[in-house]
Structure 1
Amino acid sequence: MVPEPEFESYYGRPILKQPTWKTPDVPLYLFLGGLAGCSALLAEGAAATGRPELERVARIAAASGAAAGTVALVHDLGRPERFLMMLRVLKPTSPLSVGSFILAPFSAFSGAAAASQLTGWFPRLGRLAGAGAAVFGPPLATYTAALVANTAVPAWHEAHRELPFVFGGSGAQAAGGLAMMLVPVDQAAPARRMALAGAAVEILAAERILQKGLVAEPYRIGLPGRLMTTARNATAVGSAITLLAGKRSRLLAVLAGATYVGASLATRFGIFEAGMESARDPKYTVVPQRDRKQDKLSG
């Protein structure tokens, strides 16, 4: 019997050029964008249902997340003017260009809404700004999935259908979890519902990614595997606490909220590291290509 040959590249060299994105700048940007975008939605829902404490916390979270995310993005770019240069032209075929035109107005709207909330000035304009932030919130929470999937990195590109749901769900549980930590339980019902819904969406979408054969391997092994496993377990624990006692115990609500936020952060770092690992190892590029070619020939 001839043993199955093991894949080897030319002198073991990578085939793809690894992304030059920095750690932790880019994973933090992915996390903060989701947190900010979903917090803006949560704030608008709180304003509509008369929950002032929840609205205040979510408005501040949206503005702070957008500001911190912009700082992380600019630090990764190296020079602030590079971000400003991206706003000169809108290129619909570029997720980074489109994302810049999502981040800029979202930051302005969410900042104005938070300032109005804190000072009490111009409440009607603040409410309009909050509505504007809520419109840009879902695109901000999910466009980064298109940003990473629109590359040749196998672990990201092959999951292009699932990543928007993972990012959206992860952002929702982070926003809901942060509000659960900072808002009294009698006003935090929308935050609990958002966190639970986001957790369910993220778990289902992430499980679909893990079923993608060889290209899903980086999500299961090494540092990315540990991060994704930690995120999955933490999400399950946070959801169980929320369902059993989240609306009765302030202490347990804070614990569940912190678990949600930590799980969302681990998910973003896990996905980022899985993509980098798949770019380093050429087998994740070549073997699936060979398999697809063989399927076409046999079909």
Structure 2
Amino acid sequence: MSEDRPADQTDVRMDDDLALRPEREATVGSAGGREPRGDGRRGDRRRGERRRGDRAMVPEADFRSYYGLPVLNEPTWHDYDIAGYLFLGGLAGASSILAAAAGVTGRPRLARAGKVGALCAIGGSFYALIHDLGKPSRFVNMLRVFKVTSPMSVGTWILSAYGPQAGLAAVTAVTGRFPRLGRAASAGAGLTGAAVATYTAVLVADTAVPLWHDGHRELPLLFAGSAMAAAGGLGLLAAPLAEAGPARGTALLGTALEAAAYLRMERRLGPVAEPLRRGKGRLVRLGEGLSAAGALLGATAGRRSRAAAVAAGAALLAGSACTRFGVFHAGIASANDPAYTVEPQRARLAARERQRNGVPE
């Protein structure tokens, strides 16, 4: 080899042995020419610790998703189909309950309005569900089994039991024929109507969508309140002032229940509830405002003015629809953002670790 080569090159000999110059030799445990830290034994320093002035060569991991993709697959449900299904099902179930109560207390026109409205609403709900499924045979196929642990299976049977009774109650109320059969059907629809109004909350909470899943405690109450407000609004629209007392009371009670459930869910979920305050999720706030305005208007001016009662009823129906659409879109937004899946999991793991180590909260 020639001796006039640069001094910083490595000597390569014919026997394939590498002869490193002393100034280029690496010492085990050294880093960039600094002295070895400690005695080089494992455990001398905690993993991840660095001395003051050391520069991290790799940035701290901040896991959010895999290659920028969502952690969860977005639900394939169509917004107008499923959000409309949620709204119309709640309206139908609560209207049947209100109609049954009106029939018992001697308010025939309010009862008839509730029965006819329930039949129209459940018909629209069936249409939205089947349109989302793609073909009616898929709904019929779900009736082959009954699985108590599946909200979808239970909900299918609830709808199948409720629909014929709601239809029979409405037909007998309009025609005036077979009154005993109509009363029995009205009572049956009222009993199953409570499940129709709330089972959809259990259905969506049984998914992995963060907002829906974590809000499983409050969603049934939120949906029940929204359904009651919608049924009260329908009663104010269709019934005369003299018979609209139960509708006004139902609207007030439903609005209060909806607002309380929403407030509790927002506080308990913390950051997971953020989609309810932005984007289309803000429809829930709009729905609360419309429902509150409609309930107050119906309870005050709606007692004496037919125009005020109609305006109150329209506001209540619009508010209930906004609530269902807002909850639906906020859930989709929470599924698309990995933070609402990863961060709660991290928080739960940290809480378990603190509990295991006896560290107070």
Give the drift of 1:5: 8.3
Among 210, 218, 229, the alignment partner of 2:275 is: 218
Alignment of 1:217-256 (within 5 A): 217-225=274-282, 227-256=283-312
Among 329, 333, 337, the alignment partner of 1:277 is: 333
| Cα distance in structure 2, aligned partners of 1:234 and 1:190 | 20
Amino acid in structure 2 at the alignment position of 1:217: E
TM-score (norm 2): 0.80
Larger relative helix fraction: 1
Give the drift of 1:10: 2.4
| Cα distance in structure 1, aligned partners of 2:64 and 2:186 | 54
Amino acid in structure 2 at the alignment position of 1:27: A
**3-state SS of paired residue (1:160):** coil
Among 44, 58, 62, the alignment partner of 2:114 is: 58
| Cα distance in structure 2, aligned partners of 1:119 and 1:293 | 62
| Cα distance in structure 2, aligned partners of 1:278 and 1:24 | 18
Alignment of 1:40-189 (within 5 A): 40-189=96-245
TM-score (norm 1): 0.96
| Cα distance in structure 1, aligned partners of 2:102 and 2:159 | 22
| Match in the other structure for 1:22 | 78
- When the two chains are superposed, the root-mean-square deviation of aligned CA atoms in Å is 1.5
Is contact 2:122-2:163 (8 Å) kept? yes
In the alignment of these two chains, the number of paired residues is 297
| Match in the other structure for 2:345 | 289
| Cα distance in structure 2, aligned partners of 1:36 and 1:65 | 5
Asked which structure has the greater RCO (Cα within 8 Å, sep 6+), the reply is: 1
Larger gyration radius, structure 1 or structure 2: 2
| Cα distance in structure 1, aligned partners of 2:64 and 2:98 | 50
Q: Does 1:265 align with 2:301?
A: no
* Alpha-carbon displacement from aligned partner over 1:265-298 (angstroms, at most 9, x marks no partner): 0000000001100111111000010011111112
- Percent pairwise identity: 50
| Cα distance in structure 1, aligned partners of 2:81 and 2:160 | 18
Alignment of 1:184-199 (within 5 A): 184-199=240-255
Give the drift of 1:7: 5.7
| Cα distance in structure 1, aligned partners of 2:233 and 2:61 | 48
| Cα distance in structure 2, aligned partners of 1:27 and 1:141 | 13
**3-state SS of paired residue (2:241):** coil
Which stretches in structure 1 are left out of the alignment for 5+ residues? Answer: none
Runs of 4+ in 1 over 6 A off after TM superposition: none
Give the drift of 1:182: 1.1
